[in-house]
Amino acid sequence: MTSDLGFIDPTASKHRTKIAPAPRSMDLSNKVVGLLDNTKEQGDIILETVGAALRERYGVAKVIMHRKEFFSKPASGELIDAMAQQVQIAIAAVGG
């Protein structure tokens, strides 16, 4: 893609697609929440604490924990699909 000035935009791409973020739920009661442990030390402790608070304070029906293979790797497609099937809201952890 060439600009009016005759320069090429190095970031122009015909392969780009826009993905709309999933709608955010404003009500947690009776929802199933997935927590993604990124494997960093103590991340699981933070998530378990968050999970307990979500159940006690916000009426979350169920909390499901998932764990990535390694903290600096993206979650696998299988893991993301599994969470998408099981949960209505997902929260990822950063520990360490």
Give residues in contact with other proteins (CB under 8 A).
2, 5-8, 10-11, 13, 15-16, 41, 70-74
H helix intervals, the chain: 43-58, 77-86
**Identity at 45, one-letter amino acid code:** I
CA separation for the pair 95, 47 (Å, rounded): 9
Min CB(74)–other proteins separation in Å: 6
CA separation for the pair 34, 39 (Å, rounded): 15
Residue 6 vs 23, nearer CB to other proteins: 6
Min CB(8)–other proteins separation in Å: 4
Min CB(47)–other proteins separation in Å: 16
